[in-house]
């Protein structure tokens, strides 16, 4: 099966040795996506929207779209902000309704990031 690597141009991809997304067959796995370029310190809603924009672009580059997403994992540095992240997630996935999990983590690489999101998409069926 062929393996397609998708880059978002993140400066961390080469340094860490990861890809924004990887497609193997009908499956697309999207790595933890941070709000790079959001310029929204302290604004979980805007940061979440930025994560979802980056993910959507990676899905398109992999030949898919948001409607192919079957699972998301929303990681927050403060669970008290879950409603802000959920509002942004709901605006994007209201009709798709993937399986979704919210988890709290201690921090991310950049201490200004409040959220990162991972996703799995399946192209068939």
* pLDDT single digits (tens) 10-60: 777 888 899 999 999 999 999 999 999 999 999 999 999 999 999 999 999
Query: Lowest mean pLDDT: which of 7-16, 39-48, 77-86, 98-107?
Result: 7-16
Give residue 125's pLDDT band: very low, low, confident or very high (50, 70, 90).
Answer: low
pTM of the predicted model, to two decimals?
0.93
The domains of the chain, with CATH numbers, are 3-122 (3.30.1330.40)
Question: Is the alpha carbon torsion for 98, 43, 102, 53 positive or negative?
Answer: positive
């Amino acid at each position: 099966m062929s393996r397609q690597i998708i880059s978002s141009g993140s400066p961390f991809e080469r340094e860490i040795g990861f890809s924004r997304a990887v497609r193997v067959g009908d499956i697309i796995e999207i790595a933890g996506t941070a709000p790079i370029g959001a310029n929204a310190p302290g604004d979980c809603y805007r940061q979440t929207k930025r994560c979802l924009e980056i993910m959507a672009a990676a899905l398109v580059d992999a030949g898919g779209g948001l409607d192919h997403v079957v699972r998301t994992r929303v990681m927050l540095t403060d669970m008290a902000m879950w409603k802000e992240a959920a509002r942004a997630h709901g605006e994007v996935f209201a009709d798709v309704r993937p399986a979704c999990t919210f988890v709290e983590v201690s921090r991310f690489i950049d201490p200004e990031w409040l959220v990162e999101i991972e996703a799995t998409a399946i192209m068939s069926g």
